[in-house]
Amino acid sequence: MWGTSAWNSAPWNGQADTLAPIIGADTRTITAFWADVQQLGACWVDRWTRIVDWTDRKTMASPNLNSKIASIVIGDDKPVVRTYKLSVPADTTISKAWVTVKRRESDADASALLQFTITTSATANGQITDANTVGGSIGLTFWLSKAFTKTLKAGAAYYYDVQLETFEGKLLTVEKGTFTPVQEVTKAEV
């Protein structure tokens, strides 16, 4: 509303002296004042986003075999958003992705702490958000649920990987790494 032409036309005419009783002893025009407000707002939004954005977002060349998922707090849901730049033919389409978490890399899949698949259909576990490699990359989002993170031990290292399957049946491990969760302070139950 402040940046609209209505504020910069009669009766205001963009003059600070007209609005001085409203905005204090400010001698700037409304246009200058609005520019300052927008700049502060952008700064605040940028800082707030950094504070509250707990999503682990990465764009990476694939495969990335020494990755980390940051800021996992025990008892919290953790969204992980990935864009993988793949070296595969441009018409390759991804049909499925597996996310696996283990205590030790050598553990059998049957002993995994967590293993689930995601497809292009949205589920509670996540979704492949861009399955076609025409642009040279694919995207996906997966969630480490609070039910899962509650089972983890603070300070312990866990191993994970993300593996893709193409419609042609080819398997690609695009990310492999570790994460170390931290203890929560608030133990709120929802």
Every domain of the chain and the residues it spans:
5-52, 56-179
**Which CATH superfamily is 56-179 part of?**
Immunoglobulins (2.60.40.10)
Read off the pTM. 0.69
How far is the C-alpha of 37 from the C-alpha of 103, rounded, in Å? 50
Whole-number pLDDT of residue 36: 54
Pairing of strands 171-179, 158-166: antiparallel
Cite the DSSP H helix spans in 53-186: 146-149
How far is the C-alpha of 21 from the C-alpha of 26, rounded, in Å? 9
Print pLDDT tens along the chain (190 aa).
Answer: 444 444 444 444 444 444 444 444 445 455 554 455 445 444 333 333 333 345 667 676 778 899 999 999 999 999 999 999 988 888 899 999 999 999 999 999 999 999 999 999 999 999 999 999 888 899 999 999 999 999 999 999 999 999 999 999 999 999 999 999 999 998 877 7
**Buried residues in 107-128 as b, exposed as e (16+ CB within 10 A):** eeeeebebebbbbbeeeebbbb
